[in-house]
């Protein structure tokens, strides 16, 4: 566990207040490989200067913030004025309601999540009560919390033995799907096609989701490419995949159903001894070994 939490405060619902610590759920770096812009001739890093089209390069202490109200017209707002607009950081996750998970569309999830853990011995019991109650009832807690001086909406939910808090986007920050619905022509679908598709979905439905089965192949290939160019190794280039053949929809559904009934391909086992860490249990069950002797 990290030595310092990202956030500390209280998780409050009704008359109950639970001291908690929040740790960022995002892994440091996220496994991404960053690239820099370089000068092609000498490979020096490209630098950017802050330039005014009228007066040339400008020093940092001569730069202010402005909001465009009409073409070429700006209203200046300084840091102190913006600071007065921020909400008081009261260090409280205030629960407003409890809802079923399906009533919150995932499109509103901002991608910023934190693991909440009890802060101190006194927090253990009320924390566990809330954790188990949310799990048993199958509910999410909808709450308001102040982060970096801004009021945020969040959901708090059970997640593999701890409470996880995910910040939500406000409704005004997410595009509604209605304008895009005009591109869906809604062609006639036969009862047989619908039935086959439903059967396919049912056959391919997993009891649980195992995220460890999915790997970031691009980052792995990029790392190997960088290594090969650093060590001057010969790199093998795979051919681009061919375009899939267009076949009859009914035939495609039948073939897909046959594949689904055979079950998903088992991912390769991790090297070395001991089990590997997974996000959750595998969707496919492993048969028990027969006792010998």
| Least confident residue range of 61-75, 90-104, 110-124, 228-242 | 228-242
pLDDT of residue 245: 58
pLDDT of residue 272: 45
pLDDT of residue 137: 97
- Spatial separation of the C-alpha atoms in residues 145 and 113, rounded to whole Å: 13
- Give the pLDDT band (50/70/90) at residue 87: confident
If one compares 147 and 131, the residue with the highest pLDDT of the two is 131
Structure tokens at 148: 């970096």
- Spatial separation of the C-alpha atoms in residues 283 and 210, rounded to whole Å: 7
Mean predicted lDDT score pLDDT of the chain: 83
| pLDDT 10s digits, 197-241 | 999 888 888 888 887 887 878 888 888 888 888 875 555 555 555
pLDDT of residue 30: 61
As a whole number, mean pLDDT of residues 234-249 equals 56
- Give the pLDDT band (50/70/90) at residue 274: very low
- Give the pLDDT band (50/70/90) at residue 279: very low
| pLDDT 10s digits, 25-82 | 988 766 678 889 999 999 999 998 999 999 999 999 999 999 999 998 999 998 888 8
The answer to whether residues 21 and 114 touch, using CB atoms and an 8 Å cutoff, is no
Q: Is the pTM of this model over 0.85?
A: no
pLDDT above 70 as % of the chain: 80
The structural domains of the chain, ordered by start, are 73-171 (2.40.290.10)
């Amino acid at each position: 566990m990290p030595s310092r939490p990202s956030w500390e405060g209280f998780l409050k619902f009704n008359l109950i207040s639970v001291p908690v610590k929040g740790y960022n759920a995002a892994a440091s770096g996220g496994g991404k490989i960053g690239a820099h812009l370089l000068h092609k001739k000498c490979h020096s890093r490209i630098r950017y200067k802050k330039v005014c089209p009228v007066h040339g390069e400008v020093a940092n202490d001569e730069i202010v913030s402005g909001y465009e109200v009409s073409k070429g017209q700006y209203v200046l707002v300084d840091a102190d004025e913006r600071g007065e607009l921020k909400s008081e950081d009261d260090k409280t996750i205030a629960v407003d309601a409890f809802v079923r998970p399906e009533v919150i569309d995932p499109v509103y999830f901002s991608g910023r999540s934190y693991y909440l853990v009890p802060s101190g011995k006194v927090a253990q019991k009320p924390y566990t009560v809330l954790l188990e109650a949310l799990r048993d009832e199958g509910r999410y807690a909808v709450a308001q919390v102040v982060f970096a001086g801004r009021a945020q909406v969040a959901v708090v939910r059970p997640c593999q033995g701890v409470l996880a808090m995910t910040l939500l986007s406000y409704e005004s920050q997410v595009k509604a799907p209605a304008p895009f619905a005009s591109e869906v022509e809604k062609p006639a679908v036969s009862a047989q096609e619908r039935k086959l598709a439903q059967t396919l979905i049912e056959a391919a439905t997993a009891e649980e989701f195992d995220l460890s089965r999915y790997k970031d192949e691009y980052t792995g290939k990029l790392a190997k490419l960088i290594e090969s160019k650093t060590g001057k190794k010969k790199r093998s280039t795979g051919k681009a995949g061919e375009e899939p053949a267009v076949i009859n929809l009914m035939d495609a559904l039948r073939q897909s159903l046959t594949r689904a009934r055979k079950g998903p391909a088992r991912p390769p086992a991790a090297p070395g001894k001991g089990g590997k860490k997974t996000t959750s249990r595998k969707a496919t069950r492993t048969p028990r070994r027969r006792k010998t002797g």
